Each structure stands twice: as structure tokens, then as C-alpha cells.
Amino acid sequence: MPGGFNVSAIKSYLAKKAWGLGSSRSDGVLLLATTHEPPQCLASDAEAKTWLDSVVSVYAQRSGISLATAGSGGLRSSAAGGAVINSEEFLKFQAEQHQFAAQHVELYMRYLGRDSRAGEIAYDKEKASSNALQVRLGEHGDAYIDGIQPKFDALKARRFDSSWNWVRQDALAMYYDIIFGRLQTVDLEITARCIALMNRADDHTLRKGETYKLAKEFGQQLIDNIKEVLGHPPVYMDVTFPTAVTEKEDIIYSEVVREGVRKREAHVEEMASGDTASGTVNIQKSRMTFSNYEPRACLPRDRRPQVSAVTSWEYSSNLTGVYLDILHEIATSGTTFKDKNALLTGCGKGSIGVKVLKRPSCLRRLLPPPVTV
């Protein structure tokens, strides 16, 4: 090809300037041109166009189409601005192609075991059903149809999957009905409630039974103790662990488990069965021994404690017995302040007196003492 006469120029010549071929026809001409090599190089555009005209003629002959040339302006065109073919032959060829494709489709459907007319059959059934429905709609009217439409909403659906929790609540409700006397006889209603509990119960429900059994035993013991003290004045019983205050005012305590001593009355009995004491204790000797380790306080004479004239202690089994009897009574029955007045001083905020006051203040009809400043 001469210089400048490229593929774009060739397609433009075939489509617009000379023959009016379409894009596909132009590609067909170029494909055929690769098999019709010119005998020599084409030196000019005119020689190239003449060679293309010969290729187009061969293409039209092989394709079975007739091309007409234009007589004005030296340009060639078809009578309708494009390739001219016989319409009857074209329609016949198109029908043959459609029949060929339909035969292939039918063959594939038989291979797959399907009916090619399944869609048409379904359409006919749907159309018949739609016509019958339309007849009924026309008879009843839109108002009736709108009134019988379903109102279900999935977002408003309730799922009753909490029976494991409700069985506990129902069991507690029945439990307290028994406690407060609302449930006295077993009738049909109570039987139905029990059956409902049995149907919803699980292993976790049975685990609560042991604690209810313990509550029953403890409650019965408490009821028996209350019956014993009815009519008696309120008493105080010390049930706290002993405490001590260090030099830095830190409160410390320790819990020591005594073998065979579970209650406080047993502790008093253990004290009563302690070691025997000697008849006389020399207090003056003990005081002198202790004074060797005690630093002397420099106090005025009028504020020094007076030395007791008693120089020895004598063990009294009678007083010891009275003391132990009082301790045993306090441990078993408690301490009462009925018809008694007590003056407690030094009860400032954060003082030891406040801690002492908390012990008997649990009793009713006890007035707080005056606070000394």
C-alpha cells in the first residue's frame, strides 16, 4: 500500500466514498484481500483503489450479493446506500437459520430431560387461574378483599422460650403462698399449677431444693427460739470476736477455733474446768517485779495513784462460782438492761466508748447517753 493509505483510509473508502459497505462487510473484504496479493507494489492511491475494487467484486460474487456503482462524481454506491440483496432469499435464509437453532435447542432440552414447552404450559395455567381470580374479585369487590388480608408481621412475633425462668418464679410464688397461708388445700387449681411446674422444670430447678430445705430447718429453729423468749425482756449477747488496740491505735483481732467448743456456754464451761489456783497470791511481790520493767511516770504528787493497802489476793471459790454463773447466764440467755440505768462517758466520735455503746444499743427502749466533752 502507498504511504498514508492505511486501514482507516481503506475502510473509509469502502464504507463512505465508493461502495457503502458496513463495518462487518469491510472486515470481510480486508480478510479476502489477504488472499489476493497484488502482482507488484501499489505506488499510488489510485492503484490501491483499483485493486480494492477488484477484491470487492470477488467478495460480492462469493457472498451472493450484487453491488451497483454510482455514476456521479466518480463514486460508487449501492442503490439504497448499501449492499443490495434479494429480500425473499434473505427471509428464507433467516427462517432456515431460526429453524436450525430451534432444532438445536430442542435437542439440548431432550438431553437434559426437560420440556421446552414447560414455560408456555405454566403460563397458560397461570393465565387461567388469574382469570378465575379476577372473576371473584369483580364479584366481591376491593373492600372485602382488603378486609381479609393477613396482618402478620414477623417483627411483632413473640417467642415463648423463657419457660426455664418462669418456672422459678412460679415455684417461688407457690412457696410464698404456702408461707403466708394463702395455699391450704390441694384443689384442681393447685394440681394444674404443679403440673405446669413439672412440665417446665429442669436440672437447675432441682438444685434450688436443697437451699429451701435448709431454710425450712433454720426457720423452724428460729421459730422455736422465738417461742422460748416470748414475754422476756430484750437481752444482749456478745457474739463478736475479741479485739485489741495496739500502741498505734490499730484494731486487731484473731479467730481461734477451739476443739469441742462451738458455743459460748461451752467456752464458759471450759473456763470453769481450768487449772487450780494457789490459795494466796502475793500482789506486792508481783507489783515490785513488774515495777522493775515499767518506766516511772513524772506526775505531780496530787495526781499520783494511791498505793492499795492490800498486799495479797486470796482465791475465793464462792466468788469465782458466782462470776462463772453470771458468765454462763450471759452466754446462754444474754444480758438485759430492763429497769436499769447506765452512764457511759467518753463517747466522742471515733472513741472506744462509741464501740462499747454499739453493743447494748441494739436493745429497744435504750436512750443514748450524754456525750462528755
pLDDT tens readout for residues 146-170: 888 888 888 888 887 788 888 889 9
pLDDT greater at residue 309 or residue 129: 129
What percentage of the chain exceeds 90 in pLDDT?
A: 7
Q: How confident is the model at residue 310 (pLDDT cuts 50, 70, 90)?
A: low
pLDDT tens string 241-257 = 667 788 888 888 777 77
pLDDT at residue 127 is higher than 90: yes
For residue 123, what pLDDT is reported? 92
For residue 56, what pLDDT is reported? 84
Q: How confident is the model at residue 370 (pLDDT cuts 50, 70, 90)?
A: very low
For residue 74, what pLDDT is reported? 41
pLDDT at residue 368 is higher than 50: no
For residue 39, what pLDDT is reported? 78
pLDDT tens string 257-303 = 777 777 778 878 888 886 655 555 555 555 555 455 455 545 455 55
pLDDT tens string 340-351 = 777 778 888 888
pLDDT at residue 327 is higher than 80: yes
Q: Is there a contact between 347 and 369 (Cβ–Cβ < 8 Å)?
A: yes
pTM (predicted TM-score): 0.29
pLDDT tens string 169-218 = 998 898 888 888 888 888 888 889 899 888 888 888 887 777 878 888 88
Q: How confident is the model at residue 77 (pLDDT cuts 50, 70, 90)?
A: very low
Q: How confident is the model at residue 58 (pLDDT cuts 50, 70, 90)?
A: confident
**Cβ burial 214-252 (10 Å sphere, 16+ → b, else e):** eeeeeeeeeeeeeeeeeeeebbbeeeeeeeeeeeeeeee
Please compute the mean of the pLDDT values over residues 26-37 and round it to a whole number: 81
Which of the residue ranges 96-110, 125-139, 186-200, 354-368 would you say has the lowest mean pLDDT?
A: 354-368
Please compute the mean of the pLDDT values over residues 132-146 and round it to a whole number: 83
Average pLDDT across the chain, whole number? 76
Look at the alpha carbons of 72, 76, 82, 88 in this order and tell me if their dihedral is positive or negative. positive
Amino acid sitting at position 39: P
Q: How confident is the model at residue 41 (pLDDT cuts 50, 70, 90)?
A: confident
pLDDT at residue 225 is higher than 80: yes
Full DSSP string of 66-101: B-PPP-STT----TTSS-B--HHHHHHHHHHHHHHH
Please compute the mean of the pLDDT values over residues 81-105 and round it to a whole number: 80
Please compute the mean of the pLDDT values over residues 19-33 and round it to a whole number: 80
Helix intervals (H) in the chain = 7-12, 23-33, 45-63, 87-112, 118-140, 142-147, 163-179, 188-200, 203-207, 209-229, 264-272, 283-291, 317-333, 352-358
For residue 125, what pLDDT is reported? 93
Q: For residues 36 and 38, give the distance between their C-alpha atoms in angstroms, rounded to a whole number.
A: 6
Look at the alpha carbons of 53, 55, 58, 64 in this order and tell me if their dihedral is positive or negative. negative
pLDDT greater at residue 82 or residue 109: 109
For residue 281, what pLDDT is reported? 53
